[in-house]
Every structure is written in C-alpha cells, then in structure tokens.
Amino acid sequence: MSKYFAESELIINEDGSCFHLHLRPEQLADKVILVGDPGRVSLVASHFEEKECEVESREFHAITGTYKGKRITVQSTGIGCDNIDIVVNELDALKNIDFKTRTEKPEHTTLTLVRIGTCGGLQLNCPAGTFVASQKSIGFDGLINFYARRNEICDLDTEKEFKRQVKWNDQIGNPYCVDNNPELLDRIAADDMVRGITIACGGFYGPQGRELRAPLADPELNAKIEAFEYNGLRVNNFEMESSALAGLSLLLGHKALTCCMVIANRRALSANTGYKSTIDNLIKVVLDRI
Ligand code: R1P
Ligand code: URA
C-alpha cells in the first residue's frame, strides 16, 4: 500500500499549491532551470516565446513557459543548501505525489534540474567569466548526511581521499561527495565548459575561507583544496547549492547538473561585480542544450 503523507509532513496550501513554492502540480514542467537570485528568473524567462504562469513567494520566484518548443520552468532557490532541501523536495512532491490522495503516484516522473549559478574560481584556469560545470560536488553543508541512503549515493573513495589530502578537521563537519548526472554533463557542458569538482559550502565567508574579522578554524584549508587532485580531477570552484541539488536528485530519482559562471577568482584575488549582463550568455547556452 502506498504511504500516506499527513498534512503536517506535506503541507498543501488552500489553493492546492505546495507550501513554500506556491506552485500547483500542473504548473511545473519536467525541465527545470534553478537559479539562486529571484531576479535572474525574469532574465531566463525573457528568452521564452510564451509564458504560461508566474508565481512568487519569499525568495521563490517561478515562471513556466516555452523555449524553442520545450516546456521549461525557471525557479529561484535563494541562497544556500537549506533552500535546496525545500525546493527539490517540493518539486519532487509536485510531480510524484498525488496532492488529492496524499500518496505516491504509481508512475515515477524524472525531472531534469539544471542550476545556473555564480561561483568563486579556485584555479588559475577559471578566471572571472569562465563557465564551470560540476562533474562531482563535495558538500561542506551537511544536508545529505540527514538522509538514510547517504552512503549508497556518495562517492566514498573521493570523500576519503579528500579528507586525507586536505587533513580534514572534524570540527567542521562531515563532507560528502556526489556525482552530477553524467548524461546532462556531457550534453550541457559539451566541450566548452571547464569540468571538475565543485565544493558547495554552508556559507560565503568562513566556509569558503574568507577571513574578514572572525579568524578561521583552518586558515590553510583553501590552499590544500586548490592542491587536491584525485583521478585527474581538481576542485575548480566554490558555490553553495550544487551538492545538495545533486545529492537529493540521486535520492529522489532526478537528473541534476550545476553550471556556474565565475565572478571572483580566489587565487588571483580578483572579482567582477558587473556580471549580470554576461550571465545571460550562460543562460542561452543552457536553454539551448537542456
Ligand atoms: C552567494 O553569493 C550566492 O551566489 C551563488 C552561491 O551559490 C550563492 O547562492 O549562486 P547564485 O548566484 O545562484 O545565488
Ligand atoms: N558565489 C559563491 O558562493 N562564492 C563566490 O566566491 C562567488 C559566488
């Protein structure tokens, strides 16, 4: 018998929409572009030929429409992996749980989830403006450690080797390593994005090694991360959502990939704050290839 999801566990608003996103099941496409910044949603949707619906609540802004005949939803997540837990669980529920009976649908629908974000580059071949695709994501955020099948979906070899090479300090939690979807990676990163490992952090300052006035637990961690290499892969970039997105997608049977544009290079100590127009190039590439 199918599991029943009680009112407190799957909260459905009076208009039949899911609790935080305020989307109703019929408003969600199978292809979803996720962006952090709610303002980036209109930029993505400006390329749509037709707009079907627009929904906004807190940092969650969504538009569903059509791009070159493909039905696509663009959804903002706000900043951080805690929001990804909300967004991916609610998108999955919209497709795979019957909101009337509150039970799982017999047929599973696989979502294609592509995040278009901004990131910090950690290698000299990732200057500002570079498009970086995440082949693997290492999560410093801890989210996937709360789910039962964590060890089945994680790349335990890379985790172990990462902890060894960077002399991991247990005070800062338990990092996990997950793969982004290989088919999406090949199709969307093609041969013009830099591929490698992305580290997703539970913060922008201390967790990414930015020391303003509060001293860090391990001030050498970024240098050790930059030097890390395993099976031909290096860590290219820091951002804040890719590990939670890839991990939850593996747990729930969806395909996920994160592609980011570098806006700051941590090794060159440079930043570009005028990136809002150039990220449109990454948006067009992803819309064409999704
Ligand atoms: C931090 O400035 C935010 O920017 C990056 C990080 O992952 C974090 O969300 O992504 P977005 O530009 O998609 O928000
Ligand atoms: N987003 C991040 O999370 N880090 C950066 O350095 C830039 C964008």
Pocket test for ligand 2, best of 130, 240, 276 (most atoms within 8 A of CB): 240
pLDDT for 13 beyond 80: yes
CB of 264 shorter than 6 A to ligand 2 = yes
Pocket test for ligand 1, best of 34, 35, 37, 257 (most atoms within 8 A of CB): 37
Are residue 155 and residue 272 in the same domain, yes or no?
yes
Q: What is the mean pLDDT of residues 6-11?
A: 98
What integer pLDDT is reported at residue 276 of this predicted model? 81
CB of 237 shorter than 6 A to ligand 2 = no
- Nearest ligand to the CA of 210 is 2
Domain total for the chain? 2
What integer pLDDT is reported at residue 275 of this predicted model? 85
Which ligand 2 atom lies nearest to the CA of residue 240? 3
CB of 37 shorter than 6 A to ligand 2 = no
Closest to 259 measured CA to CA, from 123, 128, 116, 125: 116
User: Which range among 48-52, 91-95, 157-161, 265-269 shows the weakest confidence by mean pLDDT?
Assistant: 265-269
Q: What is the mean pLDDT of residues 140-165?
A: 98
Mean pLDDT of the chain: 97
Side-chain-facing half-sphere of 76: CA atoms under 13 Å: 21
- CATH code at position 156: 3.40.50.1580
Are residue 39 and residue 69 in the same domain, yes or no?
yes
Tokens standing for residue 87: 């967004």
CB of 118 shorter than 6 A to ligand 2 = yes
Q: Which residues make Cβ contacts (< 8 Å) with residue 101, sequence separation at least 6? A: none
Nearest CA to ligand 1 atom 9: 79
Ligand 1 residue neighbourhood (C-beta within 6 Å): 35-37, 79, 117-118, 204, 239-241
What integer pLDDT is reported at residue 19 of this predicted model? 98
Provide the greatest CA pair distance for the chain: 57
Q: What is the mean pLDDT of residues 51-75?
A: 98
Distance 201 CA to ligand 2 centre (A): 9
User: Which range among 4-18, 72-86, 265-279 shows the weakest confidence by mean pLDDT?
Assistant: 265-279
Among 74, 109, 144, where does a domain finish? 109
What integer pLDDT is reported at residue 1 of this predicted model? 72
Domain that holds residue 258: 117-289
Is the pTM higher than 0.95? The answer reads: yes
Are residue 83 and residue 173 in the same domain, yes or no?
no
Q: What is the mean pLDDT of residues 22-26?
A: 98
Are residue 93 and residue 213 in the same domain, yes or no?
no
Pocket test for ligand 2, best of 126, 205, 238 (most atoms within 8 A of CB): 238
Among 109, 131, 158, where does a domain finish? 109
Are residue 69 and residue 122 in the same domain, yes or no?
no
Which ligand 2 atom lies nearest to the CA of residue 201? 3
Quote the DSSP letter at residue 2. Answer: P
Compute the distance between CA of residue 201 and CA of residue 208 in angstroms, rounded to an integer: 6
Q: What is the mean pLDDT of residues 183-211?
A: 98
pLDDT in tens, 198-214: 999 999 999 999 999 99
Among 53, 82, 109, where does a domain finish? 109
β-strands 176-179, 229-230 pairing: unpaired
